[in-house]
Amino acid sequence: MKMRPPIFFMFFLASCSTAQPLKEELLYENSFADATKMQGWRMEGEATTEHKDGWMFIQSPSEASHHVYWCPKTFPANFIAEWEVQNHHPEAGLCIIFFAAAGQEGQDLFDASLQLRNGMFKQYTKGDINNYHISYYANTPTQKDRPFSHLRKNKGFKKVQVGQPGIAASSTAIHKLRLIKHNGRIQMFLDDVQIIDWADDNPLGAGKIGFRQMKWTHFAYRNFKVWSAKQ
């Protein structure tokens, strides 16, 4: 007779699937409320930022171009990042988080030897840099309200996981995001619900984090924090 595993064992397995490492040292913190705190941040593409009511608003005037806003700090291979977002243009847009971004030979992302980047997607996915990226909001004119988050590994634009639904196209609520990269395992949580969970057997190492928006997007961001992670 085939026996079912004990209930406590089943619970243990379920707990392991969503287990998270612990926050260790706070490596970076920025409320995004004040423009004077953005020294070193680099915008690639035609976009502007505005800081008001405790938020940083990013958009491309006249929807001129897609864009990426990079944090100047290089983060270690293992980290936990958190931030909050709110959509101010639910008609269309797309939000991505780039992370572990660096030159293919290990150069700093801002190294002068790397090709210039201006927000065109192929420069980040098929150019001379490596990174991961997760799209957690997708509502473009050609792909309305895409239901699932995607995790890709670059260079190469390799889709390694189709995750759970990200932010709904019509949502204008405040959402909290948590991104974890630890020992090759990548997890992302939206309002404490896991939407990505994938393990890379050949993981990328240290690198930078950047916020990407397509040109139709008008999101607000606040309370960006990054910690080192430990088991």
Domain ranges of the chain: 24-230
Residue 174 C-beta-side C-alpha neighbours within 13 Å: 7
Architecture of the domain defined by 24-230: Sandwich (2.60)
Rounded distance between C-alpha atoms, residue 70 and residue 99, angstroms:
10
Q: What is the pTM of this model?
A: 0.91
Give pLDDT, residue 14. 39
Give pLDDT, residue 145. 85
pLDDT at 3 over 80: no
Percent of the chain at pLDDT above 90?
87
Neighbours of 147 (CB within 10 A): 11
Residue 62 — very low, low, confident or very high, per pLDDT cuts 50/70/90?
very high
Cβ(138)–Cβ(54) below 8 Å? no
Neighbours of 225 (CB within 10 A): 16
Average pLDDT value for the chain: 92
Tell me: cis bond preceding 37? Omega within 30 of 0 counts. Answer: no
Rounded distance between C-alpha atoms, residue 82 and residue 179, angstroms:
6
Give pLDDT, residue 17. 55
pLDDT at 21 over 90: yes
